[in-house]
Amino acid sequence: MSFSLQSLLSFSGIFKQMKSKIRRGKTNFLQRRCLALPEELCCRFSLAEIKAATNNFHKDMVIAKGDSGFIYGGMINDGFFAIKRLRPSTNSLLPLQELKCGARMLCQLHHSNIVSLVGWCEEKGEMIHVYEYVSSGTLYDHLHGKDSDPLPWKRMLEICIGVARALHYLHTGARFVVIHRDVTSSSRNILLDGQWTAKLYNFGFSKRGPHSMMTNRPSHKADVYSFGVVLFEVLCCRRVFDATLNGDQRHLNRWACKCIENGTIYDIIDPYLKGRIASEYFKKFVEIAYSCVSFDVNKRPAMGEVEVTLELALERQNKADSKMECSSSR
């Protein structure tokens, strides 16, 4: 069968029109998907259930206050949950998009070191997320709270490993790459459950990254840098920024890096940890933290490497402690 040149030109024009319609249709479809209710991924709660759980958003039920809204504790169907009531916005569509798109993304993240989104509610202008309740507070509170006892070094290592596992999963193991973009203790985004398992929280600033990490895009390395700062914070038990100090000492990462380069890092670590960390594994911990905050993005390790290094440090620390206990008992 043959076609005339006129037929081909005619078909070409029709095809261009079809492609244009497909592109417009795809955009509209994505918008509809973004606003579609993710009921197949997590539970949708009624506003009546939320009000019953929070005693109509009573102030006595508030367990935390964040930049984006209040968090209440409440019982729903015999389970205790953290209920985040998002702040309203002057743009009525934007928070709704954020709620539903955020819910759709979070419902697809399943990891033991990430706070699970159980469900959500969007009704009568209310935008609400319902999360699993994490009972032992935040890493920040345990590091800097006045009434908190110092945590054992091995427990701190386990907490750091938990956060590293969560980030490794987000960067390479989830259905799509997620850049958290707010890995800090000061934002209280690292929570601890009843077994002291670290749980990464608050994906308000997160972005979806490339489907493959085999690209030149360094965005996920921002999470690596932030995690390196957390490692220094854990090691030194100092705030990331302290205005009462002078010069580079105000910025923990700058001061820690300078001390590493001068060979004096041991002098600024948490006094409680001195003598409790095997020297060989202390050096390994410092090296991986230092590489994470490298100014050269390409020299920062992947989170998988960070995770393995910390796990090895914990394993060797356990062996060193066992030898010490055997020697003491003898």
Per-residue pLDDT tens for 40-74?
567 889 999 999 999 999 999 999 886 667 899 99
List active site positions.
Answer: 182
Neighbours of 49 (CB within 10 A): 18
Long-range CB pairs of 293-299, under 8 A, 24+ apart, other chains included? 293/225, 293/228, 293/229, 293/232, 293/253, 293/257, 297/218, 297/221, 298/218
Cα separation, 269 vs 253, in Å, equals: 12
Could you say which architecture CATH assigns to the domain 43-132? 2-Layer Sandwich (3.30)
Domain residue ranges in the chain: 43-132, 139-324
In this structure, are residues 113 and 36 in contact, taking their beta carbons and an 8 Å threshold? no
Q: Could you say which DSSP state residue 278 is in?
A: -
Fold matches, 43-132 and 139-324: no
Give the residues of the chain that fall short of pLDDT 50: 1-39, 90, 211-212, 214-216, 218
- What local confidence, expressed as pLDDT, does residue 329 receive? 65
Do the bridges between strand 117-123 and strand 43-44 make them parallel or antiparallel, or are there none, so unpaired? parallel
Top-level CATH class of 139-324? Answer: mainly alpha
Query: How wide is the angle at C-alpha 315 spanned by C-alphas 312 and 319, nearest 5°?
Result: 135
**Partners of residue 71 on adjacent β-strands:** 64, 84
Cα separation, 196 vs 137, in Å, equals: 9
Contacts of 158 (CB under 8 A, 6+ apart): 196, 197, 198, 314
Query: How many Cα atoms occupy the beta-carbon half-sphere of 77 within 13 Å?
Result: 6
